[in-house]
A and B are shown apart, each in its own frame.
Chain A
Amino acid sequence: MNDQHKHDPFEDVLHDALTAGSNPEAEARLHRVCADFQNQLKQSARPSPFRIWFTRLTSSGRATFPQIENGLLDLPAVNRQYVKIISGLFRRFATVLLLVMIVTISGVGIYKLATAPKPELSQSERLNFAYSHKPADIGVILNCNQNVVNAREKRGGVDQGTSSTAYNRLGLQDDLMKKFFMTGAAFRGITTGLMAYQLDHANQAPETIEQMMKPVDYIGTAKDPFGIGDLKYVRQNDEVLIYSVGPDGKWDGGKPIDLADPKLGGDVGIACNIRTGKTRNLFDERLAPYLKGDRLAHELGARQIISLKGPPVQLVPTSGTLAWGKEVDGLRAAMDLAPSKNEYEKGEQIKVRLYVQNVSRHVVQLASSRDRIEDTLILRDEKGVQVRLVSDSRYALFWRQLVRHTLKPGETASFDGLGLSIGTVRLGGIDINPNNGSYKISFELKFPDLIPCLPEDWQGKLTTGEVELRVAR
């Protein structure tokens, strides 16, 4: 087995055969193959400028090429490095993308939840709200139905014949409610003026509305709240027809307002019988509360969207002995007598001071005549017999002055009430002639006591607490 093994001639023969001849061209070609192979290795092993730039960019310069030697790289290792870098980039990108998606989806979800309209109330729920409310609950009802209010404001008209509040059962916009109220106030003013005109003109009605306005015994206005001119005045047989053009602003020949029409096309009017003095409505009865508007101010006040007209009321110091009457819509009233005495004699004149206090949670505007002469005196004797007495205010139309008070919660306004004359006659007051004894007196106050009033003016009646009036001989 060593190299000194026995020489075999067969090996020489094989050697000669296997090493016979040479092909220089073929060998030169193989040398070229070898040189080309080495050149290819050089070119592929040098990192291209793009590869260096990409590596620096993707690894922030932290990456190192594996086994760098004489500027040449371990290409398989470099490729593995690239795979690692790219997979790392992909992981980073996927993480960021996932976070962005989570934040976006969460944000969109929160935004949708925050802005999603609250579920609409069903018809029966609305009616329950409308008919079962209490005055103090109006604010709550409004909050619950804010989405209905929003939808109504977007439509600008009638909201499916339902309402968001007890008062606004047709779901009208605030502006429309105010204008309907002003229309009703104008109707009331004109009918009162018509009555006064008839008294002065042998029960004859004026031919035009201007005729009625000329004597200036009418302190109201004939301006149409919905139009740009005066109210329509039509004489028809024994009736006087007074029209407003309605929310659509167009004269429709007296056609009543169609509540099913989103634009509320049609006119609103009243008919006054000249002979009987009675009036009848020429509109859908569902509009009557709006024209009357006796709770409009309260609704507007509860929503704190009223534009108050009167100055803030002066705080009135009230003694703790005032007997307050029953609270109505957040207001209560009281009275006291001056001079304050235990007993009053016949022939004595007593001044009455009236107080109205705001016990609600919102501002209330009161419109009142400076001298309240239309209030009702309620007199009750020891046996419980009750008498209601009023003053004749017909002749006071010329000089009465309207004032307004803005009552913040807890504030009290005071008014001069009707004077009382015991056993004597006093112009503009209430004359009583009671027997000797003790009586309980109170006043029923009407607000406003003068026509017209604004939509923001509180409307209603308050009764003061009872005060003892002892009459001596």
Chain B
Amino acid sequence: MSLDAFKNLIEPIESRMVRTIARLVRDPDDAADTMQEVLSTVWKKLETIRTHENPSAYVMRICISKAYDTLRKRSRETSREISIEDLLNVDWAGPQNHSDEGVSDEQLELVRGVMAAVIALPTQQAQAVLLRIMEEYSFREIAQALGCAEATAYSHFSKGKARLREILTAKSSKKAPVK
């Protein structure tokens, strides 16, 4: 085990790790703590990761997993309930009243709502959904990251997405339709 190996592993994906954690864990302090935990885990499991068939995917899975854990710890925080309609009505690319995080407060509420729905998923489904949606990994890469078969990874993703849709649809039925 050496520092060089650690450095060689982290440097190419450091930006992706930072971006993913920052977007999942919006709170800066929690993000820093999550980053520290990710790095410690990678250092401890460096030998395992180096021999893995896709080290980068493994590290990204660790990032998402740690962020997922952090979000679940914060799940008690109340967030506004959102629906699919809320998401469809938002113009993510249009001019916004940007906050410090580059999105409007309303958009931030929506993001938090989506994250609340994601953490309601089972772990592997959530990880598959996040790797696919956020990192745009192929199902093969997701399978490598999760350590399962590609079909299983697809299944996790499909079930997770369907469950996520159900959650958001159910919330839509409680609210008045958004035009």
Contact = CB atoms under 8 A, between A and B. Distances in A.
Contact of A8 (B35, B130, B138, B161): B161
A25 B101 CA distance: 9
Interface stretch (B13-21, B49-57, B73-81): B13-21
A114 B100 CA distance: 93
Contacts of A13: 84, 87-88
A17 B111 contact: yes
Given A20-B92, A30-B21, A14 B31 contact: no
Interface string B129-153: 1101110101110000000001101
A394 interface: no
B62 interface: no
B28 interface: yes
A74 B107 CA distance: 47
12 contacts: A1-B151, A1-B155, A2-B139, A14-B114, A14-B129, A14-B133, A14-B161, A17-B110, A18-B114, A21-B103, A21-B107, A34-B17
Nearest to B113: A17
B133 A23 contact: no
B18 A30 contact: yes
Given A18-B130, A27-B22, A33-B36, 15 more contacts: A3-B139, A8-B161, A11-B161, A16-B92, A17-B110, A20-B103, A23-B102, A26-B22, A27-B19, A30-B21, A30-B35, A34-B17, A34-B39, A69-B4, A70-B4
A17 B87 contact: yes
B84 A10 contact: yes
A60 interface: no
Contacts of A23: 22, 26, 28, 100-102
Interface residues of A, number: 36
A18 B18 CA distance: 14
B22 A30 contact: yes
Contacts of B24: 18
B102 A25 contact: no
Lowest 7 A-B CB distances belong to which pairs?
A21-B102, A21-B103, A1-B154, A16-B92, A30-B18, A69-B2, A37-B39
Interface string B90-133: 10110000101111000110110011001000000000011011
B92 A10 contact: no
A132 B150 CA distance: 115
Given A13-B87, A26-B31, A72 B108 contact: no
B131 to A, nearest CB: 11
A244 B134 CA distance: 128
Interface in B57-90: 84, 87-88, 90
Nearest to B43: A41
Contacts of A11: 132-133, 161
A307 B53 CA distance: 107
B165 interface: yes
B137 to A, nearest CB: 9
Contact of B164 (A3, A14, A33, A37): A14
A8 B161 CA distance: 10
A2 B103 CA distance: 33
A17 B107 CA distance: 8
Contacts of B1: 67, 74
Interface string A439-451: 0000000000000
Interface of A: 1-3, 5, 8, 10-11, 13-23, 25-27, 29-31, 33-34, 37-38, 41-42, 45, 67, 69-70, 72, 74
A31 B103 CA distance: 21
Nearest to A69: B2
Contacts of B100: 23, 25
A67 B153 CA distance: 38
Contacts of B19: 22, 27
Nearest to A77: B1
Contact of A31 (B14, B98, B129): B14
Chain A CB within 10 A, most for which of B31, B93, B140:
B31
Contacts of A21: 23, 98, 101-103, 107-108, 111
B18 A10 contact: no
Interface in B5-42: 6-7, 10, 14, 17-19, 21-24, 26, 28, 31-32, 35-36, 39-40
A31 B39 CA distance: 11
Contacts of B164: 14
B65 to A, nearest CB: 16
B139 A33 contact: no
B114 A22 contact: no
Given A20-B92, A23-B28, A30-B35, A38 B6 contact: yes
A18 B103 contact: no
Contacts of B31: 26, 29-30
B176 interface: no
Contacts of A31: 14, 18
B4 A22 contact: no
B2 A30 contact: no
Contacts of A16: 87, 90, 92-93
Chain A CB within 10 A, most for which of B101, B107, B139:
B101
A10 B168 CA distance: 11
Contacts of B154: 1, 5
B109 to A, nearest CB: 11
